Structure 1
Amino acid sequence: MPPLAWRPLALIAALLSALLLALSPLYGYHRDELYFRLLAEHPAWGYVDQPPLTPMLARLSTTLFGDTLTGLRIPALACTAVLVFVVGLISRELGGDRRAQILAAAGIGTGVFTLIAGHSLLTLSADLPLWSAAILFVLRVLLRGDGRWWLAAGAVIGAATYNKHLIALLVIGLAAGVLAVGPRRILRDPWLWAGAGLAVLIAAPNLVFQATNGWPQLEMAAALSENKGAEMRALFVPMQIVLFGPVVAVVGARGWLRLWRDARLRCLAVAYPVAAALTLISGGRFDYTAGLIILLFCAGVTPGLASSVAVNGALCAIVALPLVPLSVVGMTPIPQVNEIVRESIGWPEFTEAVRAAVRTLTPEERARAVLLAGSYGEAGALHLAKDLPPVYSGHNQLFRYGPPPESADVVVAVKYPRRGLETVFHSCVERGRVTNAAGVDNEFDGLPVLVCKGLRVPWRTAWPRFQEYS
């Protein structure tokens, strides 16, 4: 077993963390971060659209480091630092020497999705190191023949269910690979079943929450597939190249061949196409295979790739990080390519447009007013502003935090169709529009801000009309 290049790996992790920390205040919150910050105020074993880990990381981080954009993002850069070390360990497990470990860590550490997940607190932030750790422990079983590592794999897989249930793709892919191409002897290993039991035991509270609440994430997955399934299928193949950059994709293809040619690891070669097929069939996001692409890249890394990895990393950084000034980024293709950038720009202008509409209310009206946001990002941004009326939304988990009080017969609403609001209120008048000063075309640019008055029906009757999963 080659020695671990821990000093270069530590240097890569430190440099990446310093870069991400320095850039963390730039542009602004992503809409998912605003949502996690809001959910963090409602601790639970789960939510209708996701498990609790990322919202609870947001709660822990803002408590420890302050309720600021940088404070919120500390867990994201910490996850990236952990990922760098795990990738180095995967490369070492596959026989990679010092140079291979460094190239693997640098290549993945500077990939588009790694940088995005390190800059913004997303579910992807924790998912990448969790998947990679599970893969590392599976490799140790397959290459060392020591079944005790199934316990470590099971523990990580169980823990990963608190972030996303997508770790099931890895389990299904691995199981399909073992059944199809072996090694089937591991099915007789009692450590495998002990590890599986441990995974279920750790995941049990999260699974109990889902079961006792009618499996809301299945309903959520169905809604996502219906709304964006066709788009995700069309983007799947090109985005496999973009996820970590074209160099990682090409090297990953070579890594897949290496896994396939090794009878001990062939099941992992099968896991990637199985996960890809399941993602395509379900209309899931193209990044669901990211963890397996990390494995393929580690398997394919060879000496002589340093310059290619450097160029790949530089290009990825321009796309993934807020390196282009805010004043000109709207004139580049970056917001169209990177949704995280697109939906992180313009929140101050959005909040000010709503604030201006609130100022048109009389003191008596404001005392009875609430805000109504059609999406969790907009709700999170308005919740961040302490000088505005309370905000309600029917989007995903936020529906469960309503309805507004029956006394709230004045509403300042955004991202809800006027016709729908007029079935609930006697009058709705437009009192402004959101203008994105950076010129970025995103979800809230150009939104009308409506002021609605006079409830036609009680909130307890009207509220179910506002529920939406997307």
Structure 2
Amino acid sequence: MGAGRVSGSLPRFAAVPVGLVVALQAVVLTLLSGRYGFHRDELYFLAAGKRPAWGYVDQPPITPWLARASTAVFGETPTGLRVAATLLGMATVVVVVLIAREFGGGRGVQVCTAVATALSTYVLVVSHMLATNSADTLLWSLIAFAGLRLLRTGDGRWWLAVGAAAGLGMMNKWLVLLLLSGLGIGVAVAGPRRVFRTWWLAAGIGVAAVLTAPVVLWQASHGWPMLTVAGGISDDDGSENRVLFVPMQLVYLSPVLVPVWIAGLVRPWRDAGVRWARALAIAYPVVCVELLALGGKPYYSVPLLLPLVALGAEPALRWLARTGTVLRASIGVVTAVCVVVSVLIGLPVVPATALNGVLLAVNKEPGEQVGWPEFADTVATAWAQVPDKDTAVILTDNYGEAGALEYYGPERGLPQPYSPHMSYADWGPPPDRLVGPVLVIGRIERGSPASRLITGCHAVATHHNAEGVDNDEDGVTISLCDTLTRPWSAAWPQLRRFY
């Protein structure tokens, strides 16, 4: 394909076939959105959304705000909440197709890109359940689209769109800084560097700064808790993340898409028509190196693979057209198998009782959507054994448990739960007038601050979900404790946990 085609007029946007792909995506996601139940993080987002702020201990505000808006409009149910995730997934597909069009991709390339994006494992996961990655995937794609349009056209006004998308990205997850650094290094190394020589760059930075300022100020005024959380993740999981990083890059979208995004990495160096996109090919390895150095989770870089799929779709299709019938048939079979695997991993299509084993080993998130109502039942049974309920407290180990009891507890006669974990710590402590007893969810480790502050504990229940799913709450111990050695206001700082 010549440089004139890509650098000049673009192919028409394939609205009808791409629209059909997106419509089918919406139907499938909606039909499956009510299966299993809330994820632990979704329960936390519901709780955070009811306490609107410019920030939270472990995240900026956009995802909790989306949770609040989606449930306010569509109902406080898994289906109502996940409308937001579905819409974000649909928008991601459209933006990635627009990126493919920027590279001169015609109707066939655009449809292929739409299908590949919608059916990739990672996009299925973040489009089914609402997570910070749901919005992050769209926002990274928007930044890539605006940045590529800037590089292709040289029109400095696109810095405003880059700045707006970056500012929104900072309001959702600060990982967007890695993307911006990767693209910036890519442009500095491979050009076109003329895009830096315009006052529109300063204007774009100004837009991003205005959007980001309230979030940064909130974090600064609260002691930068997100950096504390990030440091804890790196300390706890950094070594494992580094070992798994490269292998997981090959499977998160789908193994069948690996040759496509590799073609995207190579294409700008071989095709003069997309030479202007070399910064994208540089950005991905730069971001990977940054994540390896920081011990970040392997999936953090996956949204950047989607523009590379869009870039590699055309050469991949050209190569496929040149292959023989037998090889094309073999590739078709492999593709079908990968699609089935992606659906099994990314969507709740199997009974919950069938999750244990390979499916949970590959993706643990479906398991965290099972058993929360029964968990609340178990806690309610234990609560019935508590004397002096007027002064008693339910203390949970993590935000998922607290979110579940806040949602399911009232109809079971349970009081407001408390937790020293993440932002729930900011929403506590219990009033000092609640002097005990304490119903503790989770085992109190010997020698921990909790063991010195909460004493006289004995187990009164153990939770198991009815489906037998091996998730984080299956087997959790519930203990009844007699004595609080210090008032809650004094004990709370010692109990607080950031990860």
Identify the TM-score tier after normalising by the shorter chain: over 0.9
Give the secondary-structure state (helix, strand or coil) at the position aligned to 1:454: strand
Which residue number corresponds to residue 362 of structure 2?
337
- 1:244 match: 253
How many residue pairs are counted as aligned between the two chains?
467
Decide whether the 8 Å contact of 1:183 with 1:263 is kept in 2.
Answer: no
Instruction: Identify the match of residue 353 of structure 2 among 327, 349, 354.
Output: 327
CA offsets 1:32-69 (integer angstroms, 9 cap, x no match)? 10110111111000111100000011111111111111
Residues of 1 paired with 2:97 and 2:335: CA distance? 15
In 2: Cα distance, 1:236 partner to 1:93 partner: 30
Task: Determine if the alignment matches structure 1 residue 415 to structure 2 residue 415.
Answer: no
- 1:309, CA displacement in angstroms? 5.0
State the Cα deviation string for residues 268-301 of structure 1 (Å, max 9, x = none). Answer: 1111111001111111111111221001111111
Q: What is the CA distance between 1:416 and its match in structure 2?
A: 4.3
Cα separation, 1, equivalents of 2:295 and 2:370: 28
Amino acid at match of 1:212: S
Name the counterpart of 2:236: 227
Structure 1 runs of 4+ aligned residues shifted over 6 Å read none
Segments of structure 1 that go 5 or more residues without pairing to the other structure are: none
- Structure 2 portions without partners, runs of 5+: 1-9, 321-327
Partner residue, 1:439: 468
Q: Which amino acid aligns with 1:345?
A: V
Alignment partner, residue 72 of structure 1: 81
Question: Are residues 1:465 and 2:494 paired?
Answer: yes
Kept in 1, the 8 Å contact 2:89–2:138? The answer is: yes
1:366 to partner: Cα distance: 1.7
Question: In the TM superposition, what are the counterparts of 1:65-464 in structure 2 within 5 Å?
Answer: 65-261=74-270, 262-302=274-314, 303=317, 304=320, 307=332, 310-330=336-356, 332-362=357-387, 365-385=388-408, 386=410, 387-408=413-434, 409-419=436-446, 420=448, 421-464=450-493
Q: Which residue of structure 1 aligns with residue 3 of structure 2? A: none
TM-score norm. by structure 2 comes to: 0.90
Sort the Cα spacing of 1:215 and 1:260 in 2 relative to 1 into closer, same or farther, 3 A: farther
* 2:393 match: secondary structure: strand
Does the C-alpha gap of structure 1 residues 310 and 194 become closer, same or farther in structure 2, counting only changes over 3 Å?
farther
2:4 is matched with none
- 8 Å contact 1:259–1:266 — kept in the other structure? yes
1:160-188 deviation line (CA, Å, top 9, x unaligned): 11111111111100111122222222221
Structure 1 CA distance, aligned partners of 2:172 and 2:458? 41
CA distance in 2, matches of 1:80, 1:226: 32
User: In 1, Cα distance between the equivalents of 2:399 and 2:485?
Assistant: 25
Task: Supply the AA of the counterpart residue of 2:303.
Answer: G
Q: Which moved more, 1:365-374 or 1:121-130?
A: 365-374
State the Cα RMSD in Å: 1.6
DSSP 3-state at the match of 2:206: helix
Is structure 2 residue 20 aligned with structure 1 residue 11? yes
Structure 1 residue 111: deviation in Å?
0.8
Q: Pick the aligned partner of 2:71 from 62, 70, 81.
A: 62
Q: Distance in 1 between matches of 2:297 and 2:352?
A: 28
Check conservation: 2:355, 2:367, Cα contact below 8 A. Answer: no
CA contact (8 A) 1:422 1:428 kept: no
- For the 8 Å contact 1:103–1:309, the answer to whether it is kept is no
Question: Are the aligned partners of 2:140 and 2:176 in contact in 1 as well (CA < 8 Å)?
Answer: yes
